[in-house]
Amino acid sequence: RKSMRYLVLAHHIILSSLLFLVDECLKDFLSPDGIVVGRLCSQERTLAVLLEQAFKIKDEVAAGLQSTQGSVQVQKLSHKLLENHILTITRIVKQLSMDIQALERQIAQRDSVTSGTTLAIQSLDHKNMAGIGDLRGRVARYAPTSVKRKQCNADKRLDQCMFITQTQDMVEASYFM
């Protein structure tokens, strides 16, 4: 912006100088002296150079203004693009945050289910171990009784078999008599 101010100031100075020279040319042109023609050519050349410089400065000022407007537009566009980029990144971060929270909830649920399953398995294991211990105790108590019963049953059967055999022998003997 400072360079633009300097360009505008330089343009103003050159135009003021040109106006002064044009004014001097007209005075000399209208003066009755004979030297007017020589001075007029010299001043025309100076005027032409100054006009050329003025037009160059004018073009530079116009280009500077356009580039300033262009750079302002470019800055606005860049600012807008950066703002959109930041908004997009913010949305992505929010979505990732929600996804992470959902995953944390799923992991917590899975861990609680796993803990519950582990506790249930441990409880069943303890019950099974208690049941197995109980069965061992029953078997230990039943085994001697069972052996005695089997012996007793075997003895009873033997007695019964002997009785039946004796009875059959008697029946046969009485039949043949």
Residue 99's pLDDT band (cuts 50, 70, 90): confident
pLDDT for residue 96: 72
Per the document, the length of the chain is 177
List pLDDT tens digits, range 135-155. 777 777 766 665 555 555 555
pTM of the model: 0.37
Q: Give which of 41, 53, 46, 42 is closest to 15, Cα–Cα.
A: 53
pLDDT for residue 170: 62
CB contact at 8 A, 51 and 18: yes
CB atoms within 10 A of CB 61: 17
**Mean pLDDT (whole number) for 87-116:** 78
Cα gap 9→27, rounded to integer Å: 27
Residue 36's pLDDT band (cuts 50, 70, 90): very low
Sign of the Cα torsion 126, 132, 134, 140 reads negative
**Mean pLDDT (whole number) for 54-69:** 65
Residue appearing with tokens 């171990």? 129
Q: What are phi and psi of 124, to 5 degrees?
A: -60, -40
List pLDDT tens digits, range 120-137. 888 888 888 888 888 777
Among 75-79, 107-111, 116-120, 130-134, the range scoring the smallest mean pLDDT is: 75-79
pLDDT for residue 107: 80
**Mean pLDDT (whole number) for 10-14:** 64
CB contact at 8 A, 14 and 6: no
Cα gap 48→59, rounded to integer Å: 16
For the cut 50, the answer to whether the pLDDT of residue 34 exceeds it is no
